[in-house]
Amino acid sequence: MSAPVNMPQGTVADETRERLERATAALEPPFAVVDLAAYDANAADLAHRALGKPIRLASKSLRCRALTERVLNRRGFRGVLAFTLPEANWLAADPETGIDDVVVGYPTADRAALRRLADDELLARRITLMVDSVEHLAFLREAAHPSATRPLRLCLELDAALRLFGDRVHIGARRSPVRTPAAALSLARAIADTPEFRLVGLMAYESQTAGVGNAPPGAPLRGLAVRAMQHASGAELRERRAEVVAAVRAVADLEFVNGGGTGSVERTAAEPAVTEIAAGSGLYGPALFDAYRAFRPRPAAYFALPVVRRPAPEVATVLGGGWTASGPPGPDRLPLPVFPAGLRFRATEGAGEVQTPLLGDAARRLRIGDRVWFRHAKAGELADHVRTFHLVDGDHVVAEAPTYRGEGHAFL
Ligand SMILES: Cc1ncc(COP(=O)(O)O)c(C=O)c1O
């Protein structure tokens, strides 16, 4: 795997590694760190790219309450895009410290969590559910028994994929079935006609732009093709999203129109119909986000594993390693060994469940007890492997931030 373009190189890489080693000298690997200077710089960069529109934090890409709150306290960020309703209920529950604006970014079929939401005045005021069909509306009514005096807040999701050749090719995530202004209006009317619901938002997530790197290292032709696809998709969505928003606004007072993700912040923010951007991954700056042309998140989240055996002079084996990422399986889902530079996986073993042999020149110099530093391919999934992030400021660990797992939660 070639070195990512935004990784510190040469002496800067040596300095980063030495600084992280100094800061964490007292820790026993495996452990994970977040480098606060990089994290805060990434937050500033996301806000700058959003052209003055607020960013709603995609919590699945952080899975750490303290780090979520650290960014929500900055200008340019407002509200959370949660990934499950139990998570949203947990985030919003405390009247004093709870997050007061949580949109669940994906439909829920969790009956118990829905009952809790509908029965709780505070939660019902703070949380918005995602819907994309009348079938789901019927499910919500049956599961939650909402009342007209405390209606459920709903957000309508629009399909943001690019379709080509008379809809035979679908580029982008398979999410909502609602695609046209007519379909959106029809669902919006069904919601408006139900006093137990209130339509407050519209969301469309263009994964083919926001989550697909358009400058993959070593693949210039692929980069060219991806950028052409993203250009076409951006033009198509800009027009369709504006039409859908206008149609829905005729029957509902929308508080927000949410779009985008880390990879599309500036493009999505430039659409007049969009009022806020969703983003999260750009804060930790995981390896999959090395492949974009318009921006460079700084690597902020790392994990360290100990070398535990040397099967041969050219092989150093670390404990664990198989913290791989979700999505279509492939080499880009593997963690990236970054320090020391020049390590690679064995093709026949990859990143292992309990041990991972690493090859390369640097492996010859590693000794038992040394650490190898990795970056995860994706953002929030790293947090489900550790109970805490050690927060590094300069060359000190200044605090520990419990992950969702550390707080006893496994939402997904
Ligand atoms: C609905 C939605 N919005 C936004 C995002 C973008 O999140 P991130 O910035 O972490 O890529 C995602 C990620 O999957 C998403 O599902």
Query: 208: Cβ below 6 Å to ligand 1?
Result: no
On the question of pLDDT at 329 being above 70, the answer is yes
pLDDT level of residue 12 (50, 70, 90 thresholds): confident
| Residues 88 and 105 sit within 8 Å (Cβ to Cβ) | no
What is the distance in A from the centroid of ligand 1 to the CA of 261?
5
Phi, psi of 289 (to 5 degrees): -90, 15
pLDDT at 3: 44
Residue owning tokens 């050749």: 165
pLDDT level of residue 8 (50, 70, 90 thresholds): low
Q: How does pLDDT run across 81-103, given as a tens digit for each residue?
A: 999 999 999 999 999 999 999 99
Nearest CA to ligand 1 atom 2: 205
Please list, in sequence order, all residues whose beta carbon lies within 8 angstroms of the beta carbon of residue 53, skipping any fewer than 6 positions away. Answer: 269, 274, 275, 276, 277
Query: 281: Cβ below 6 Å to ligand 1?
Result: yes
Query: 280: Cβ below 6 Å to ligand 1?
Result: yes
pLDDT at 6: 55
Mean pLDDT score, 78-83: 98
Query: Residue 268 belongs to what H/E stretch?
Result: helix 265-269
Query: 258: Cβ below 6 Å to ligand 1?
Result: no
On the question of pLDDT at 286 being above 80, the answer is yes
Q: How does pLDDT run across 186-239, given as a tens digit for each residue?
A: 999 999 999 999 999 999 999 999 999 999 989 999 999 999 999 999 999 999
What is the distance in A from the centroid of ligand 1 to the CA of 94?
25
Query: 61: Cβ below 6 Å to ligand 1?
Result: yes
Q: How does pLDDT run across 341-396, given as a tens digit for each residue?
A: 999 999 999 999 999 999 999 999 999 999 999 999 999 999 999 999 999 999 99
What is the distance in A from the centroid of ligand 1 to the CA of 173?
11
| Residues 92 and 68 sit within 8 Å (Cβ to Cβ) | no
Q: How far apart are CA 249 and CA 200, in angstroms?
A: 10
Query: 211: Cβ below 6 Å to ligand 1?
Result: yes
Work out which ligand 1 atom sits closest to the CA atom of 262.
Answer: 9
Work out which ligand 1 atom sits closest to the CA atom of 60.
Answer: 10
Give the closest residue to 198 by CA, choosing from 156, 138, 158: 156
For the chain, helix (H) and strand (E) counts, in that order, are: 13, 19
Query: 279: Cβ below 6 Å to ligand 1?
Result: yes
Cα 134–Cα 139–Cα 140 angle in degrees, nearest 5: 95
On the question of pLDDT at 306 being above 80, the answer is yes
Q: How does pLDDT run across 16-63, given as a tens digit for each residue?
A: 999 999 999 999 999 999 999 999 999 999 999 999 999 999 999 999
Please list, in sequence order, all residues whose beta carbon lies within 8 angstroms of the beta carbon of residue 330, skipping any fewer than 6 positions away. Answer: none
Query: 172: Cβ below 6 Å to ligand 1?
Result: no
pLDDT at 362: 96
What is the distance in A from the centroid of ligand 1 to the CA of 156?
16
Residue 325, both tokens: 């990422």
What is the distance in A from the centroid of ligand 1 to the CA of 82?
10
DSSP 127-161: EEEEE--HHHHHHHHHHH--BTTBPEEEEEE----
CB atoms inside a 10 Å sphere around CB 97: 9
pLDDT at 2: 42
Give the closest residue to 374 by CA, choosing from 115, 4, 48: 4
Please list, in sequence order, all residues whose beta carbon lies within 8 angstroms of the beta carbon of residue 257, skipping any fewer than 6 positions away. Answer: 201, 202, 203, 241, 245, 273, 274, 275, 276
Work out which ligand 1 atom sits closest to the CA atom of 259.
Answer: 3
Could you tell me whether strands 102-104 and 127-131 are parallel, antiparallel, or unpaired per DSSP bridges? parallel
